[in-house]
Amino acid sequence: MKVKNQGKNSEPTWRFIVNPAAGGGTVRKCWPAIETQLRDAGINFEAVFTERKYHAAALAEQAVAEGYRLLVAVGGDGTAHEVVNGIMRQTTCPPEEVTFTLLPVGTGNDWVKTHRIPKNSRKWLAFFQNGTTTLQDVGWLNYRENGQEMKRYFINVAGLSYDAYVAKRAEAYKTLISSTIFYLFLIFRCLFEYRVPRIRVVFDGKTVEKPLYTINIGICRYSGGGLQLVPQAIPDDGKLALTLAGHISKLGVLLITPFFYAGKIGWHPKVSMFQAEAILVESADSQPVLVEADGEFLGEGPVWFGILPRALKLLVPHS
């Protein structure tokens, strides 16, 4: 199928996939002004709007099937997660033939930090008109949801154990969480009700089995409003960054939180950092292992992780 080519001067058309509910409804309020800026700048685009959870993935699949090869997600990390899943699971063309970027207007805007995509709308428009393309790795995971085996792709960070527990609790506050401060409050609130499980992690011929406070597996570095739980992550090296945090006391977690933001988590004696190509995470006691990816709660283990090197084509600022 031919690439959409409907604009003046035969410029390809961008398909904007807009999540009005992102950022607690911020996108819904901001979109009219954003649309005006795009049209005033002469951008050739069409917009479609999500109506339910995971709708953005279906809209991305549909866009590629209709011939679009230039996609923009408008929202936060969750919207980007859905659109990329649509790109990766569609069968119309190889995923790397589709160019993707994010207009970050949602609550979580961690993925853009790695690629230095600006959040300010004026600066974003300048980047959008003058950016360059690059390739990033894409992670995948197989997990269980309501007893059924499922598969997802992720482009930033997946979390298990405590991180996934917080993501699950955060679902009840989707319309309220609009700041890093509130999310940090939720992290600390959940800390006092969480029981650390015993978990088995198998990766590249190694096995670790012990109580693990949290497990993070990353393509990029930042998550949870600027935390660097996988500071060793490189987005195009064909490796999954793996961080294991042992049973740290609640007071200990509070005291070392500044190290999470500074990328110094590896300083703690109960934290180990690795890189791997394939990872299995499963429960070693009666407590299920929960999993989230790109901030979206998914389900529980056992969870298998793998990586597709340089499988996603991105529009990013010039270095």
Instruction: Say whether both 68 and 37 belong to one domain.
Output: yes
Percent of the chain with pLDDT over 70: 86
Q: Are 307 and 239 contacting, i.e. CB atoms less than 8 angstroms apart?
A: yes
Q: Give the residue with greater pLDDT, 244 vs 168.
A: 244
Domain boundary among 130, 158, 185: 130
User: Which of 80, 97, 130 finishes a domain?
Assistant: 130
30 shares a domain with 170: no
Burial class (CB in 10 A: 0-12, 13-18, 19+), 39: exposed
Mean pLDDT for 259-269 is 75
Looking at residue 184, its pLDDT comes to: 63
Predicted local distance difference test score (pLDDT) of residue 183: 61
The contacts of residue 195 (CB under 8 Å, 6+ apart) are 287
Percent of the chain residues past pLDDT 90, beyond the cut: 67
Q: What is the CATH number of the domain that holds 201?
A: 2.60.200.40
135 vs 53 pLDDT, higher one: 135
The span from the CA of 119 to the CA of 255, in Å, is: 30
- Is 167's pLDDT higher than 70? yes
Contact present, 73 and 106 (Cβ < 8 Å): no
Same domain, 208 and 287: yes
Tell whether 263 and 181 lie within a shared domain.
Answer: yes
**Which amino acid is residue 153, in one-letter code?**
Y
Greater confidence, 318 or 150?
150
Chain segment 183-222, per-residue pLDDT in tens: 666 666 667 678 888 999 999 999 999 999 889 999 999 9
Q: Which domain holds residue 60?
A: 8-130
Q: Which of 95, 130, 165 is the last residue of a domain?
A: 130
